[in-house]
Structure 1
C-alpha cells in the first residue's frame, strides 16, 4: 500500500514536468483609463522569437485605436506621458509598421473597440522580448515598460506615433 501511494505521487509529479518545462514567462498589468479607473487587463507572454500580447479592454471609445509598447513602467493618469516614448533600441527612432526604414520596437497593430466600448485581442510582436535579449529591447528591463492605447488609429507611417493622438489607456507591464 505504501509503495502504491509513492507511485501515484511520483506519477503525478512526472506528469507535471513537461508542462513546467514548457511554461512560458508572463507579465501582466491593469489597463487604466484617463479617469484612473481599471479598464481591463494586458498579459504579455514570452515566445521564442518575440512576445504574445493579450488585451481585454472596456470603457473605450468605439473604433480603431493605435496601440504601442512604451519605454517606462509607469502610467500616471490622465495623460500617461510618464510612460515615455515607444520602446526602442536604436536612435533616431523611425516609427511605422508600413515604413521600410522603421526601427520602432514599440510598434503594434491597431486594436478595434466595438460599439459596446470593449475590445479583446491577441497578437504576436517579433520586435520585443519580455526579458533581456541580445537582439530585441526587453519589456521587463530596469525601468519597465507599459502598453498604451491611443485615441486614434495608427496610420503606420507618420512620425513619431502614426497620428494616433492622445493616450487614453495605459497598463504597466510587470
Structure 2
C-alpha cells in the first residue's frame, strides 16, 4: 500500500511540474530584418501575467510595449501581428485613460545609450491562456514612447521588434 501511495505522490508531483512548465513561455524577440535581438518570457501568476523583456539594438530612449492580437511577426513592419489585444467588445487604449480597457496596454520599455533595454512588468489585464489562444499573440516594441492616452496606440509609432507568443 505504501508503495502505491508513493507512486501516486510521484505521479502527482510529475503532473504538477508539467503543469508548472506550461504556465511559462519564452520566445525570441526579432528586429525587422528577422535577426534575434533579445527575448521575452511570460509567466502566469494567480491574477495576471509577469513579462520579462530583454532587448538590444533599440534606439536610446522610451519605447511603447504592447500585446498584439496575432502570433505573426512575418512582415518586416510587423503589421502581420494585427492590432493590440482587446479582450472583446469596444476597447479604448491607454493606461492613463479613464475609459481604458484594452488588454494589450503595457508600460513603456527604456533603452539605454547602448540600445539595450530590460524590463519586468506585470499586468492584470490578460492571462497567458488568452495570449496563447488559437491564433496566439505577439509582443511588439514600438519606435517611440506610448503616452498612454492617445488613440489608437498612444503615439508609439512604427513597430521595431516583435516576439511570437504561442
Same fold (TM over 0.5): yes
Please say if 1:147 is aligned against 2:145.
no
* Residue number in structure 2 paired with 1:103: 101
Instruction: String of CA shifts for 1:132-165, please: whole Å, max 9, x gaps.
Output: xxxxxx0000000000000000000000000000
Instruction: String of CA shifts for 1:67-89, please: whole Å, max 9, x gaps.
Output: 00000001024100000000112
Stretches of structure 1 that go unaligned for 5 or more consecutive residues are 1-5, 132-137
* Residue number in structure 2 paired with 1:134: none
* Residue number in structure 1 paired with 2:150: 158
* Residue number in structure 1 paired with 2:34: 36
Please say if 1:23 is aligned against 2:20.
yes
Pick aligned residue for 1:117 from 115, 118, 137: 115
Paired with 2:17 and 2:27, the residues of 1 have a C-alpha distance of 23
**Cα shift at 1:166:** 0.3
* Residue number in structure 2 paired with 1:94: 92
Q: TM-score scaled to structure 2, two decimals?
A: 0.87
**Cα shift at 1:22:** 8.4
Q: How well do the aligned residues superpose, as a CA RMSD in angstroms?
A: 2.1
* Residue number in structure 1 paired with 2:48: 50
Paired with 1:22 and 1:91, the residues of 2 have a C-alpha distance of 31
**Cα shift at 1:173:** 1.1
Distance 1:22 1:73, change over 3 A: closer
Q: Based on CA coordinates, which of the two structures has the bigger radius of gyration?
A: 1
* Residue number in structure 2 paired with 1:69: 67
Q: TM-score scaled to structure 1, two decimals?
A: 0.83
Instruction: String of CA shifts for 1:115-136, please: whole Å, max 9, x gaps.
Output: 11111111101101011xxxxx
